Structure 1
Amino acid sequence: MSAGLIPTNPADLMVIRNVTPNVTTFSVPFSRFGKLSIGGRGTLVRLTSGALAVFSPVALTEATKTRVAEQGGRVGYIVALDFEHHIFISEWAKQYPDAKIIGPEGLPEKRATQTKDPKIDDNKFSVVFTKNGKRDIKISDEFDADFDYEYVDGHANKELVFNYRPDKTLIEADLLFNLPATEQYSKVPASQRPSGFLNKLFQGVQHTYGDATWPKRIIWHGAKDRNSMNDSLRVINKWDFSTIIPCHGDVLEGNGKEIFQKMFQWNLEGKK
């Protein structure tokens, strides 16, 4: 059940900030198994048309709704960035019923089976990305005017990655972690944060600093279909971006493209 994954007081723990005037992040604490502090993050983008798109939405608090209203209030797109980041889709869809719901293949069917979870309704998806013909799938003219996007079907979690071209901002879920999740845990008392050996070990293989050899190994060996994933990463590498907003860990501002090329070096070049 999703209740075990969600803080009971998200409004008190959420950090809301503008990465750019058009891009807002909602950062919250999130732990796996109660032991691994990986953090969670939703991202709101104001398109040049004035419509709003939310990626991997987190809890819809009063402060969240206020920020949406400040950005124009017209939520046109609700995007599940992968097979796992979907818990709050129904909450947002109920509040903004005109929004198109977007996600990867298999997710609508997965959600349809989770009938006992009060957070999840059997919502209709407007756009579902599939491996076959994935680059022929389009979202809408106003959306496509601002975004590059790629379905990384070779990733185990079926990742959707978006680049908001006006602000050179890449938005992703589990493609790349940037731990520790400093911003996401900044409102959590130190005594209540996960700690211990397992947490330190996990952060040691999900960071972006230094040579990052172990994180590169996790990326390389964790691919479901390495050839397809490498192909997708080469497509993404051609995009013009300088900031990366991950769901897990701190935002990479200014040096995002360099970090991307370092972390995915083996995939981009073809590891021997």
Structure 2
Amino acid sequence: MAPNVAKLIPSDPEKVMVIRSITPDIKTFSTPFLRFGRVKIGGRGTAVRLGSGTTAVFSPVALTPTVRAEMASLGPTKYLVALDQEHHIFLEDWHKAFPDAKVIAPETLPAYRDKQGYFRIPEGNWKLFEAGASAQGKLSVDEEFDREFDFTYVDGHANKEVVFNHRKSGTLIEGDLLFNLPATEQFSRSGLDPKSGLLSRLFSWLNSTQGEALAQRRLIWYGICENKPAYNREVNRISGWKFDRIIPCHGDVIETGGKGIFDKVMKWHLEAARKGQ
């Protein structure tokens, strides 16, 4: 783990983590997380047990003793997923605990980790998503994984997002594509108010899904999206999936009505995609 990470995460994640069963096959691991060491956006890992009995872990959080026990109860960990090039800080611990697991990530992540001084995961473990592969219909992990999930690579996003839909439960799992702040659950055991402090209040307002969600819609359209045609295409693809729940990495889980919220936040991109833009 890079030395500058300590100011972003809890000193003792075991004491403040909220572990919850979303369905019999899905568990979430929610913790405090500070963007830039100051902004309370929360962090969340999600584990999904596949029909085969193996498990995929999306955006792994700290591998505490309790997390290890919960993972053992789900089944063998076969897949570790970095949902974008920022959601990787605990990959070293998880890779060492599960050295045979495939590490699914955007193509940019290995070089990004090298630049930041992280542990180098062996080349043979990586399953990297490449720009343009989704548009060409060439994204695949393996047969076991592919039959459980819809997935795509939103390379037009600044953080290079990989996004998944667990078909069986209709659950969208994503990193920084959509926030649902404030991070109430993630700070619920910390004694901290997720909206305390000017920057956290501002970030919560900018990344809310309430009402028309115009602030978040504008933030994505004008700030987060780096390549609009590519972004529009993949967001439109996601909108076509069947899901009701959204598990974001930052903010509360959207238990129901997630498809409508997703389409609301991404409205301008969906309209542009349907115009061929």
Residue of structure 2 in register with 1:147 after alignment: 149
**Deviation for aligned residue 1:79:** 0.6
Tell whether the 8 Å contact from 1:11 to 1:61 is kept in structure 2 after alignment.
Answer: yes
Residue of structure 1 in register with 2:198 after alignment: 197
1:6-48 CA-partner distances (Å, limit 9, x unpaired): 2111000000001111111000001123331100000000001
Cα distance change, pair 216–94 in 1 and its aligned pair in 2 (3 A): same
Residue of structure 2 in register with 1:56 after alignment: 59
Q: Distance in 1 between matches of 2:219 and 2:230?
A: 17
- Map 1:29-44; keep pairs closer than 5 Å: 29-44=32-47
**Deviation for aligned residue 1:249:** 0.1
Q: Distance in 2 between matches of 1:161 and 1:250?
A: 17
Is 1:121 matched up with 2:119?
yes
Tell whether the 8 Å contact from 2:139 to 2:152 is kept in structure 1 after alignment.
Answer: no
**Deviation for aligned residue 1:270:** 2.0
SS across alignment from 2:187: coil
Q: TM-score, normalised by structure 1?
A: 0.94
SS across alignment from 1:171: strand
Q: Distance in 2 between matches of 1:45 and 1:160?
A: 16
Tell whether the 8 Å contact from 1:29 to 1:185 is kept in structure 2 after alignment.
Answer: yes
Q: Distance in 1 between matches of 2:210 and 2:195?
A: 21
Of 187, 190, 208 in structure 1, the residue corresponding to residue 189 of structure 2 is: 187
SS across alignment from 1:258: helix
Tell whether the 8 Å contact from 1:35 to 1:194 is kept in structure 2 after alignment.
Answer: no
**Deviation for aligned residue 1:114:** 3.1
- Map 1:2-13; keep pairs closer than 5 Å: 2-13=5-16
Tell whether the 8 Å contact from 1:34 to 1:194 is kept in structure 2 after alignment.
Answer: no
- Map 1:72-83; keep pairs closer than 5 Å: 72=75, 74-83=76-85
Residue of structure 1 in register with 2:262 after alignment: 260
Q: Distance in 2 between matches of 1:34 and 1:107?
A: 22
**Deviation for aligned residue 1:219:** 1.2
Q: Distance in 1 between matches of 2:169 and 2:133?
A: 28
Q: Which amino acid is 1:129 matched to?
A: F
Is 1:250 matched up with 2:252?
yes
Gaps of 5+ in 2: none
Tell whether the 8 Å contact from 1:60 to 1:91 is kept in structure 2 after alignment.
Answer: yes
Is 1:67 matched up with 2:67?
no
- Map 1:12-23; keep pairs closer than 5 Å: 12-23=15-26
Tell whether the 8 Å contact from 1:177 to 1:249 is kept in structure 2 after alignment.
Answer: yes
Q: Which amino acid is 2:90 matched to?
A: F
SS across alignment from 1:27: strand
SS across alignment from 1:231: helix
1:205-236 CA-partner distances (Å, limit 9, x unpaired): 10101111111100111201011101000100
**Deviation for aligned residue 1:133:** 2.5
CA RMSD of aligned residues (A): 1.5
Corresponding pairs, count: 266
Percentage of matched positions with identical amino acids: 50
SS across alignment from 1:150: strand
